[in-house]
Structure 1
């Protein structure tokens, strides 16, 4: 029996958001009030993350000024709260490009989303109580991306990881249960959840402790 192999077609997508977790970044404004912004251009390496942000965004400006933020990861149950932050900005006046896209200034993003700020331990911005995961981070360095300088990539180092007990693997203090953790995913501007595991993973045979980033972990313990 022959197998039909699909062929590729060259296209020119306007965006390349094939699917990444949604992150609610809390940061501190100039007056000390918190800003809260959804984004999905993020990935993790050890206890560090790389964040891609528009350089004119309020969150990027706050990170450049203060050097710290909290990465709050909402579950798929919080899709409505995340969507209430769509088309909002903490910048006043609203940047021209955002104004063209329909954004409006909202000074209290937590209230707009219906979420609860709780104090962090090592940084000034608050965590989001409803998010099952929250990571307090500090900026290690930042890099311009592209030729026009409109995007900046932040490398942040995690100092604290907080999780709801319901997603922690029972009996452990260093494992998240992937069967219990249901992250909210953005794919091409639409919000999705995960399905159940579709296949066994050979990589899962490797103990997670073998990936522990000892240097950053030791620094986090003293923060």
Structure 2
């Protein structure tokens, strides 16, 4: 599920193309993410964004200093530097409250994970001690602190969480 403002360029693009690429940066990429702050693909810049200081930037990969890599199942490229990237297609969208926000149901078709954050000896598990996702909280950028307690749920094999139909659909997409 993704929540986006109806007037956002991202929402417009997702409704038009019905596909997206979700790049999940690590906390080490905070500077690259921040270089995208106050940028939009819209030209002209919508009035509300103009008042907040936004400007049009066509080459966001160049602006951020990131490397575009071709995706396999969707048109948008992924950022090579992001430890996790997900190719997804739009299944449905729903207005929230007064319709100023849209909830998007997307189906992930491919997941890309850097080897250095995979759990040793596994092909489908992320090492939570190696993966440091970048988190935005109230417009501020954060990383993660240390683990506070071991979870029994983490002992369940990852394959038991995935329905067979989803795996087959991902293999043929």
Per the TM superposition, whether the score is higher than 0.5 is yes
Residue aligning to 1:151:
101
1:219 to 2:173 alignment? no
Could you tell me how far 1:68 is from its partner in structure 2? 0.5
Report the structure, 1 or 2, having the larger helix content.
2
Deviations 1:48-69 (A, max 9, x none): xx11111111111111011001
| Alignment coverage as a number of residue pairs | 173
- Looking at structure 2, the residues matched to 191 and 221 of structure 1 have their Cα atoms a distance apart, in angstroms, of 35
Residue aligning to 1:203:
153
Structure 2 unaligned segments of length 5 or more: list them.
none
Partner of 1:183, secondary structure, is coil
1:116 to 2:67 alignment? yes
- Looking at structure 1, the residues matched to 33 and 121 of structure 2 have their Cα atoms a distance apart, in angstroms, of 31
Indicate which of 7, 18, 22 corresponds to 1:71: 22
Partner of 1:65, secondary structure, is helix
Indicate which of 128, 131, 134 corresponds to 1:184: 134
> Taking structure 2 as the reference length, what is the TM-score of the superposition?
0.96
- Looking at structure 1, the residues matched to 165 and 129 of structure 2 have their Cα atoms a distance apart, in angstroms, of 29
Could you tell me how far 1:91 is from its partner in structure 2? 0.8
- Looking at structure 1, the residues matched to 124 and 155 of structure 2 have their Cα atoms a distance apart, in angstroms, of 16
**RMSD across aligned C-alpha pairs, in angstroms?**
1.1
Q: Report 1:39-58 matches (<5 A).
A: 50-58=1-9
Q: Which moves more between the two structures, 171-180 or 153-162?
A: 171-180
Q: Report 1:136-147 matches (<5 A).
A: 136-147=87-98
1:127 to 2:74 alignment? no
> Taking structure 1 as the reference length, what is the TM-score of the superposition?
0.75
Runs of 4+ in structure 1 off by over 4 angstroms are none
Residue aligning to 2:123:
173
Partner of 1:159, secondary structure, is strand
